[in-house]
Amino acid sequence: MSTVVVGAGLAGLAAARRLEDQGEEVVVLEARDCIGGRTRSPRDLLRYGQPADLGASFIDLGQDLLLQTCDEFGLALTPRTTLMPRDPDGSFSVASPLRGPMIIDGAVVRPTEATALAEEVRTATTASPPLAVETIPAWVARAGLSDRAQRAVLAQAGGDPVSTPWRVQMEVVHPPLVGKAYRYHRCSRSALSPSFPPGKQTRCYRPRCRRAAR
Ligand SMILES: Cc1cc2nc3c(=O)[nH]c(=O)nc-3n(C[C@H](O)[C@H](O)[C@H](O)COP(=O)(O)OP(=O)(O)OC[C@H]3O[C@@H](n4cnc5c(N)ncnc54)[C@H](O)[C@@H]3O)c2cc1C
């Protein structure tokens, strides 16, 4: 054995696979009793045994290596889809999500108010164009939005699970890429980790549910 990879998340499994392809002997050590790290899709939580993605789910534009890996493993993906309504001109913007169902202060926002908030935010993007590297809180303050509109937009900062909300930048919620396309694994995201071939030299530390998550 010449290399130890710590962690059997997707990064560790991909690294181990690449090293093995180069002829290295690899051991993957995983602290949990499952591989897959932050991708996990148990089938015992929902009523009819559907997989519940508790971690990563979407494959976004630009995740080409991920798409390539799915392709290599023959994993079926859904067609590209969008997750939010479009603005009236057919585009996506930081205002688009406000046109869908929304809860503020524990109460569902009425469709007429949601439309008004979306229009306010859309107008503000023209009057005060967001900078890609500007944080959402910074733009919201600069654009002078009403209190309700501010709160609706700031809520989007919490939608990025791997960032500190006040650091999420406008490029995450505003064009050119936002809302354009997502794909999913047909069965679940956690289909990916068990697909990494264990290889002759790769041993996971506690691989008790290696196949169970499929
Ligand atoms: C709720 C949620 C939703 C997400 N949605 C998406 C999404 O839609 N699309 C997307 O692309 N990404 C999404 N992500 C992010 C994505 O899940 C991660 O970027 C990705 O899974 C990280 O993979 P990784 O291998 O780098 O790390 P991890 O998956 O965190 O794997 C690290 C592994 O290392 C193990 N480990 C850590 N320390 C040790 C140690 N000392 N010894 C042994 N083992 C150790 C851990 O137990 C873990 O299994 C989401 C994340 C979360 C939490």
pLDDT band at 141 (very low <50, low <70, confident <90, very high): very high
What is the per-residue pLDDT across 26-73, written as a single tens digit (0 to 9) for each? 888 888 888 888 888 888 888 898 888 888 888 876 788 888 888 898
pLDDT of 130 strictly over 90: yes
Q: Report CA(151)–ligand 1 centroid distance (Å).
A: 29
pLDDT band at 95 (very low <50, low <70, confident <90, very high): very high
Q: What is the pLDDT of residue 169?
A: 87
pLDDT band at 187 (very low <50, low <70, confident <90, very high): low
- The residue type found at 51 is P
Q: Report CA(80)–ligand 1 centroid distance (Å).
A: 24
Determine if ligand 1 sits within 6 Å of the CB of residue 161.
yes
Give helix then strand counts, H and E, for the chain: 6, 6
Q: Report CA(22)–ligand 1 centroid distance (Å).
A: 25
Q: What percent of the chain has pLDDT over 90?
A: 28
Q: What is the pLDDT of residue 200?
A: 46
Site to probe by mutation for ligand 1, drawn from 4, 10, 38 as the one with most ligand atoms within 8 Å of Cβ, is 38
Determine if ligand 1 sits within 6 Å of the CB of residue 120.
no
Alpha carbons 17 and 152: distance in angstroms, whole number: 43
In 3D space, the residue among 93, 65, 63, 7 whose CA is nearest the CA of residue 182 turns out to be 63
Cis omega (within 30 of 0) for bond into 79: no
Alpha carbons 28 and 113: distance in angstroms, whole number: 53
What is the reported pTM? 0.72
Which whole number is the average pLDDT over 140-165?
85
Q: Report CA(162)–ligand 1 centroid distance (Å).
A: 9
